[in-house]
């Protein structure tokens, strides 16, 4: 893993031949996670809550700096997570079955990384033990939201295209 370990933490590789049930839950296959474990896998970056545009001709996904109306800009969490799909009908529910079919998950997304068999980054709260490291590493949308969706006309969304959500910040590597 790259990046500094969090204060007071240490990284320990599992012993060769370690049983899967002795591994931290986030190293288990996504299908084996409980609902609580699945929810804890989210790093709280808020990148998935940014409006994305798809080029009709190329299929290319473009992120914007426009956030979902339910996103709390400070915590980078949904303000109404339990009822989000009622309030925002096009909100996508990620599941172990769908995570690898969603083309717009950012490269830093824990669900995407684990679906690809990759480890979580040093800044992920499950690794660092601190929910602030996702913000300190520059991965979250905190301080980077240009507008909220109810404040931007659909025709003006292309003016808000941003490249940073599709990249891994240098300090997060």
Q: What is the pLDDT of residues 34-61, one digit of tens each?
A: 999 999 999 999 999 999 999 999 999 9
- How many domains would you assign to the chain? 1
Q: Residue 155: left if φ>0, alpha if ψ -120 to 50, beta else—which one?
A: alpha
- The stretch 14-38 carries a mean pLDDT of 79
How much is the pLDDT for 42?
A: 96
Q: Residue 173 domain-assigned?
A: no
Which sign does the torsion angle of CA 61, 65, 69, 71 carry?
A: positive
Residue 10 lies in a domain: no
Is-contact 120 23, C-beta < 8 A? no
The answer to the question of residue 15 being in a domain is: no
| Torsion of Cα atoms, 45 then 49 then 50 then 53, to 10° | 130
> Is pLDDT at 8 greater than 60 in this prediction?
no
Domain-located, residue 42: yes
Say yes or no to pLDDT of 18 above 80: no
**Residue 78 DSSP SS3:** strand
Q: What is the pLDDT of residues 64-108, one digit of tens each?
A: 999 999 999 999 999 999 999 989 989 999 999 999 999 999 999
**Owner of token pair 């990384």:** 113
Q: 36 in a domain, yes or no?
A: yes
Predicted pLDDT at 22: 80
Tally of CA atoms within 13 A in the half-sphere of 52 that contains its CB: 22
Residue-wise pLDDT for 131-153, tens only, equals 999 999 999 999 999 999 999 99
Phi-psi region of 17 (alpha: psi -120 to 50; beta: other; left: phi over 0): left
Residue 14 has pLDDT above 60, yes or no: no
Residues 50, 5: Cα–Cα separation, whole Å: 29
The verdict on pTM exceeding 0.75 is: yes
Q: How many CB atoms neighbour CB 129 within 10 A?
A: 13
Sign of the dihedral defined by the CA atoms of residues 137, 98, 119, 7, in that order: positive
Residue 154 lies in a domain: yes
User: Domain residues for 105?
Assistant: 24-166
Residue 50 lies in a domain: yes
- In the prediction, which pLDDT does 21 show? 62
> Is 172 a domain residue?
no
């Amino acid at each position: 893993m790259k990046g500094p370990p969090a204060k007071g933490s240490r990284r320990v590789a599992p012993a060769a031949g370690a049983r899967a049930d002795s591994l931290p839950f986030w190293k288990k296959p996504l299908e084996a996670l409980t609902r609580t474990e699945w929810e804890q896998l989210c790093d709280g970056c808020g990148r998935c809550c940014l409006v994305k545009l798809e080029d009709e001709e190329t299929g290319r996904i473009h992120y914007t700096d426009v956030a979902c109306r339910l996103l709390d800009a400070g915590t980078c969490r949904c303000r109404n997570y339990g009822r989000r799909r009622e309030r925002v009908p096009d909100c996508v529910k990620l599941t172990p079955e769908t995570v690898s079919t969603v083309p717009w998950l950012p490269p830093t997304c824990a669900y995407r990384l684990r679906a690809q068999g990759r480890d979580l980054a040093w800044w992920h709260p499950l690794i660092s033990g601190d929910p602030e490291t996702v913000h300190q590493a520059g991965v979250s949308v905190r301080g980077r939201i240009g507008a909220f969706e109810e404040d931007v006309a659909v025709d003006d969304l292309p003016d808000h295209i941003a490249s940073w959500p599709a990249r891994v910040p240098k300090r997060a590597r």
